[in-house]
Chains A and B, each alone.
Chain A
């Protein structure tokens, strides 16, 4: 799977998952969480605790052992942005969800958010279902920030399963849900002679 984004200069940023290398350890979740939920002490930002439940990348695990990190697809048609009914923020000139002009990631602006959950529904219907609407916080979660251009999930993946690249790559699992991806991979990996699966 590849996450693809279009920058203003025409370059593409993407996070590629090499599924056969993913060991399902969820380190990516913890470093994403730490980097995007910093703790401020004496005016200085430190990486947070690494609670995986605050992560924007989520690893789903299956039996037989197949692991699917699910991360923003950087959809070419941005269904989440299209579905966002919020007014334009006068300061930024953007809606609650918009595409970053340099990196191409989805940027969230809570000040104009209508807390409707349309973005999450659109992501679920038209893409991989990465955006999840947090009912308690009344806001969408899961939008990849690309950590300002240095994605920590890629940097810390112990197994080299995640890549941050620029350029155009064919995406076999583009917009596909984790369940479906796992089903395809498991069929590919765990079959006996004649395709027998027990």
Chain B
């Protein structure tokens, strides 16, 4: 292969047949889709037919590194997991199993290790008849029995698997009971505290009876221009070292936004009914620093160390150590449920990660149930005797357990708020806060309608990382395909990343070609969804945001209007995209321009 910076090999493992093979990665795919999310979308579009059962044998689950992965480029730590989502659905189902694709990103050390082991990504096919894990040490690849690990929480598994492996430098990615039990929004964990949380990627892994992938490698492919590469490393290490934003990430991580977002009225509070949490100071970064945090920690060669680990010092949960709260976990399991007890919140976060469940989706789902219960649309019997009141940590922990085990009410709740609202009826869909069946994240929309555009138009269903306009969406898709962390973008900007990619690969992208990779990926993802039957009827926000203004706080009175949101903002969005504003479907000329037809 002429292109450098890649191993040029995708590891392909079929768990039904046990066949392990290597796929040669074509240069054309690399130039057009780069890696990570982009390459995953391309494989998914080509290989997973419309209407495929996401939890069936035919779905594929991919773990993709990018061109920057493995190199000590600051913050090049991200892995993207791509699959067809078991959790999303359109308004009108074209197929029994119509759903969007999903991509979920996780930091840490796994993507670099894929590169060290001699691959650019891993594709998992089929289903094992019994629980297994995949063992990869450079060329040596084995499917190993994992029956003794099945049912184990991620925290314990993280420790146990390392005892079993012959080298302490293995990197491992795994599911917990939620994924095993096919909870639709189960996550995949790494280092017991980093999650590919969204879109139900953990349920797909569970459906394949794949508990974990353990990988260890020792090599790194050569780069195209070692002189430029070293100059760029020097340059960007300096930029990150000297930036105040670096210090801010280190100080607060994403938890800093808990208080600032609440003060702007942009936080998900009380199932998105409000934008400000009166008790936010009790669970914000300052409180966590005083009562909980022990140290900062970082992903591979990252200079930001946004993660914070800590230990609960007092009360019934004393001695539990974990990370958080982050903005998402702290809001969705805290402010959104009116939880003001920091230790209780931390226990919820620990449990969510230990179960291997998306903290965003489960927090959103429990918020919905609390509201339905308060409004007496459901009674305590429906909740299996759990008195699910706002702010009650014990009740929340009990409900989480029900959901993970899919027993009683958990059977329904494990399928998310769209399913629940259809079951409960009585107008509850107005406050079932999802788009395409995917629960909204911790940023509320009343005070910032562009966040609403982000949620309404994202290809995996409601996504806070999507961006509210084509430019930022395409850039996001591009970053997710390089293996770089979004939080580090401030240091690089488009040109810095392009320079790195060019020095490593030798491709020599112009800024327009580089930008276009992101646009191509975004459009291909959209076409995957179109093929599944999604259209403009699915790009909608819950009614709550148009009917119920915020009742207090800095955003008091703010509400969206349909005329402005759909009639102007979304309409303009489709036009800017080169998509038909009547159907939301990409025009032929746009697809042709991107080389997608």
Contacts and interface: CB of A to CB of B under 8 A. Distances in A.
A49 B226 contact: yes
A191 interface: yes
Interface string A150-192: 0000001011000000000000000000100000000001111
B486 interface: no
A53 B112 CA distance: 12
Contact of A192 (B168, B223, B300, B312): B312
A118 to B, nearest CB: 22
A66 B298 CA distance: 11
Contacts of A52: 72, 116
Contacts of A34: 72, 230
B314 A159 contact: no
B303 interface: yes
B382 interface: no
A150 to B, nearest CB: 15
B220 A49 contact: yes
Contacts of A30: 72, 301
A196 B116 contact: no
B176 to A, nearest CB: 14
Contacts of A190: 294, 309, 311, 319, 321
A185 to B, nearest CB: 10
Interface residues of B, number: 50
A146 interface: no
A52 B543 CA distance: 52
B309 A25 contact: no
Contacts of B220: 49-51, 53
B311 A192 contact: yes
Contacts of B193: 65
Contacts of A41: 226-227
A24 interface: yes
B302 interface: yes
B227 A192 contact: no
Contacts of B314: 192-193
Residue among A41, A60, A64, A189 facing the most chain B CB atoms (10 A cut-off): A64
B230 A25 contact: no
B305 A53 contact: no
Nearest to B116: A53
A195 to B, nearest CB: 8
A65 B297 CA distance: 8
B295 interface: yes
Contact of B298 (A24, A49, A51, A191): A24
Interface string B138-157: 00000000000000000100
Interface string A3-29: 000000000000000001001111100
Contacts of B294: 65, 189-190
B159 interface: yes
B226 A39 contact: yes
A50 B72 contact: yes
B56 interface: no
Interface in B277-310: 294-303, 305, 307, 309
B309 A65 contact: yes
B319 A63 contact: no
A198 interface: yes
Contacts of B158: 63
Interface string B212-236: 0000011110110011011001000
A196 B323 CA distance: 18
Interface string A55-93: 000101101110100000000000000000000000000
Contact of A25 (B168, B298, B313): B298
B588 interface: no
Contacts of B298: 23-25, 158-159
A191 B302 CA distance: 27
A110 interface: no
Contact of A191 (B217, B226, B311, B323): B311
B192 interface: yes
Contacts of A26: 109, 300-301
B191 interface: yes
A193 B318 contact: yes
B297 A67 contact: yes
A60 B227 contact: no
B185 interface: no
B71 interface: yes
Contact of B218 (A48, A49, A53, A159): A53
17 contacts: A20-B295, A25-B303, A25-B305, A26-B109, A47-B230, A63-B192, A65-B321, A65-B323, A158-B241, A158-B298, A158-B305, A159-B298, A191-B311, A191-B319, A196-B319, A197-B319, A198-B318
Interface of B: 71-72, 109, 116, 155, 158-159, 168-169, 191-193, 217-220, 222-223, 226-227, 229-230, 233, 237, 240-241, 294-303, 305, 307, 309, 311-314, 317-323
Q: Which 9 A-B pairs have the closest CB atoms?
A: A192-B318, A196-B319, A30-B72, A192-B319, A25-B298, A198-B319, A23-B298, A65-B309, A64-B321
Given A158-B305, A190-B311, A193-B314, 16 more contacts: A23-B305, A31-B72, A53-B116, A63-B158, A63-B159, A63-B191, A63-B192, A64-B321, A64-B322, A65-B297, A65-B323, A158-B237, A190-B294, A190-B309, A193-B313, A197-B319
